[in-house]
Amino acid sequence: MLVMGIVLVCGMLAAAPPPLLHFECARTAGAIVVDGESDDKAWDNAEPITDFRLWETFERPTERTSVRFCYDDDYLYALFECDDPDIFTLYDSRDAYIWESDAVELFLKPDADNPIYYEFEVAPNNAVFDARMVNTGSGGFRRWAKWNCDVRTAVQVRGSINEWKDRDEGYTVEIAIPLAALSETIGDRPLRGQTWKFAAVRVDVSVTLDKEERSSTANVPGGDIHQKNGYFSLTFK
């Protein structure tokens, strides 16, 4: 009985929380076409970040996710590549509750001394959520999602959306965030040399899963993705 008890307790333990990781973001080596394809030369020089962990346990999610970043004078670019055997979306309108079905998300906190942070979400059907928020206790997305910016997004789906009986391969999301939209926090300062806090998030809802999976490149105890002190950092080179 004692041995069984120890085994049961060990089985309930979560993986160790990841350390707070630091990444570098390179300037683009050429133009990026926001079409959901990863074939732009600029993406060749951007290191994929693959350290996604489940929110509650810090274990690895079932399906692979990677995100890459690069930037130029006008945009911060992100490229998410997601394996997904069952691509599912509930919403198709701006600022809908995109996080309730398959989605990628990006949280950006550009300035440690400024409480403003930003959230961007894109669903496989290219539905977009964007919000500019001010501290975690200030009302959440219901207050702040009315903020819209000219974010450009595109998705390439390898499979079929909302047809659960077939087996999909996944989807790729390309995002261009206009730096001008973030001027409240970064002014007109060049990005080079700045270090931001960020969290990339993947929501996976699939018929192959017993439980929906939310994972991120962050260490957010209790699954509260708005705890910015658990975000990783990104320095612009």
Q: Give the footprint of Ca ion on this chain (CB under 5 A).
A: 33, 35, 37, 40, 84, 86, 95, 102, 130, 145, 148, 204, 206
CB of 95 to Ca ion, least distance (A): 4
E strand map for 84-225: 103-109, 116-122, 128-134, 152-158, 170-178, 195-204, 213-216
Work out how close the CB of 64 gets to Ca ion at its nearest, in angstroms, rounded to a whole number. 12
Decide whether 176 or 230 has the Cβ nearer to Ca ion.
Answer: 176
Provide the 8-state DSSP code for 49. Answer: B
Contacts of 152 (CB under 8 A, 6+ apart): 34, 75, 175, 176, 178
Q: How far is the CB of 77 from Ca ion (least distance, A)?
A: 9
Nearer to Ca ion (CB atom), residue 148 or residue 235: 148
User: Of 14 and 33, which has the nearer Cβ to Ca ion?
Assistant: 33
Nearer to Ca ion, 37 or 59 (CB): 37
Compute the distance between CA of residue 124 and CA of residue 108 in angstroms, rounded to an integer.
21
Nearer to Ca ion among residue 202 and residue 232 (C-beta): 202
Kindly give, in sequence order, each residue whose CB lies less than 8 Å from that of residue 167, ignoring residues fewer than 6 positions away.
85, 86, 159
CB 177 within 8 A of CB 149: yes
CB of 215 to Ca ion, least distance (A): 12
Residue 92 CB partners (closer than 8 Å, separation 6+) = 123, 125, 127
Helix (H, G, I), strand (E, B) or coil at 196: strand
Residue nearest Ca ion (C-beta atom): 206
Smallest separation (angstroms) from Ca ion to the CB of 220? 21
